[in-house]
Structure 1
Amino acid sequence: MYELFDNFGRIEKNDPEFHEIFKNFAYGEVFEFSTLTQKESILVILSCLIACQSPKAFKKILISALDMDITPEEVKELLYQSVPYVGFGRAHNFFGVVIKVFEKKGIEMPLKNRSNTNPENRHDNGREIQERYFGAENIEMMRNSTPDGQKHFNRFLEGFCFGDFYTRDGLNDQQRELITFTFIATLGGCENQLRGHTQGNLSVGNDKEKLISAITVMMPYIGFPRTLNALAIVNEICG
């Protein structure tokens, strides 16, 4: 995975000591303890950099990643998936970065439309995915326990988060939940949501080992405190 660090030339030139330390750790030693595929690793790193608000590092990694095992369609879907979790205020700059990189790479835009819903079915389709990931009883309990005047947030989750985004082509269920876990773990302070999406990952077939591997890969970017918080939640939910 050293190739992902190839575009950090200014750091290598001006601070070769740090460059060597970080490269050997983040792109060498870390991957000795991860079972993620190359594609999964790239998706986790890019997701982590969005939530970290690191557009320059994201751009450099993306340039290398597009020459490896990631497609423009997957990058687009990763961006879309980020919006419900980090918010468009955080994601906005990364849309601009991706457009510039795609233009530089000669990737024709706009890419193919990947939506599978419409205004009439987005809520029903989103609700179906919620129930499949988290259990119909849990979703119904959440809806019933929400105070009056706040129930529209459940509707937003159902239609916008799950209906508009999770139903799209371009990434499978396992990939979407893995990068969602990455967004939330990177943000920090969202432990209840991280518990829910740890269970969501298990429901779609991502096991404890995969989640620990994802935390391992994102650790160099999020630091030890958030890493240890995420590990504690995975251990709590997965046993």
Structure 2
Amino acid sequence: MRQLFDNFGRIEKNDPEFHEIFENFAYDEVYKHSTLDEKDSVLVTLASLIACQSPKAFKKILLSAINKYITPEEVKELLYQSVPYVGFGRAHNFFGVVIKVFDKKGIEMPLENRSNTNAEDRYQKGREIQDRYFGVEMIQAMNDNAPEGQKHFNTFLEGYCFGDFYTRDGLNDQQRELITFTFIATLGGCENQLRGHTQGNLSVGNDKEKLVSAVTVMLPYIGFPRSLNALAIINEICD
């Protein structure tokens, strides 16, 4: 995996002291304490860089990883999945980065349509996923207890976030929830949502070890405060 990340030439040339410290930590020491496979490691790293707003690092890693550890279809779905969590304002630049990388690699666009919903069934299918991930009772209670004038946010979650995005092909449930956990942990300040998606990860089969490994992989990019907050929530929910 080290070759994916050993591609930050200007820093290496102009500040070799920092480059050596960071490289040894992020690309050797960190991976000794992660059990994620190569694909999940790349997905978590790219997801964290989107939420960090680091398009240059994202581009360098994607150039090395595409068609080796991650497919063009998976990159597309990573971008789509990011939008309801980091917002299109943050995700927008990364669509442009991906277009440039795909063009450089000779990947023909647009890619195949991966949607599995339409205007009539997107709410129903989104609700089915919510119920499966978080439990029927919890979702129903959330909807029942929404304050007057704010119920449309739950409708947006049902149809847009889960109906339009989670139902798509290209990534499985475990991958979608893992990168969603990564987006939220990287953003910080979203502890209630991180609790919910920690439980969502457990529901789809991602165990505590996998979540701790994800935090281990993203730590060099998000720093210790957000990483330790994420670990505290993992311990709270899993234990």
Which TM class, normalised by the smaller chain length? over 0.9
For 2:61, give the aligned amino acid: I
Provide the C-alpha distance between the structure 2 equivalents of 1:28 and 1:63, rounded to a whole number of angstroms.
Answer: 20
Provide the C-alpha distance between the structure 2 equivalents of 1:108 and 1:12, rounded to a whole number of angstroms.
Answer: 33
For 2:236, give the aligned amino acid: E
Work out whether residues 208 and 234 of structure 2, in 8 Å CA contact, stay in contact via their aligned partners in 1. yes
The alignment partner of 1:108 has SS state of coil
2:208 maps to 1:208: yes
What does residue range 1-239 of structure 1 map to in structure 2 within 5 Å?
1-239=1-239
The alignment partner of 1:119 has SS state of coil
Offset from partner CA, 1:189-215 (integer Å, 9 cap, x none)? 000000000000000000000000000
Q: How many residues are treated as equivalent by the alignment?
A: 239
Q: Which runs of 5+ in 2 are unaligned?
A: none
1:127 to partner: Cα distance: 0.1
Q: Which runs of 5+ in 1 are unaligned?
A: none
Offset from partner CA, 1:154-204 (integer Å, 9 cap, x none)? 000000000000000000000000000000000000000000000000000
Percent identity over paired residues: 82
The alignment partner of 2:223 has SS state of helix
Provide the C-alpha distance between the structure 1 equivalents of 2:32 and 2:68, rounded to a whole number of angstroms.
Answer: 19
Offset from partner CA, 1:66-86 (integer Å, 9 cap, x none)? 152100000000000000000
After TM superposition, the score normalised by the length of structure 2 is 0.99
Moved beyond 2 Å, runs of 4+: none
The alignment partner of 1:201 has SS state of helix
Work out whether residues 6 and 23 of structure 2, in 8 Å CA contact, stay in contact via their aligned partners in 1. no
Work out whether residues 134 and 203 of structure 1, in 8 Å CA contact, stay in contact via their aligned partners in 2. yes
After TM superposition, the score normalised by the length of structure 1 is 0.99
Offset from partner CA, 1:55-76 (integer Å, 9 cap, x none)? 1111111101115210000000
Quote the RMSD (CA, aligned, Å).
0.7
1:10 to partner: Cα distance: 1.2
1:147 to partner: Cα distance: 1.0
For 1:54, give the aligned amino acid: S
The alignment partner of 1:109 has SS state of coil
For 2:8, give the aligned amino acid: F
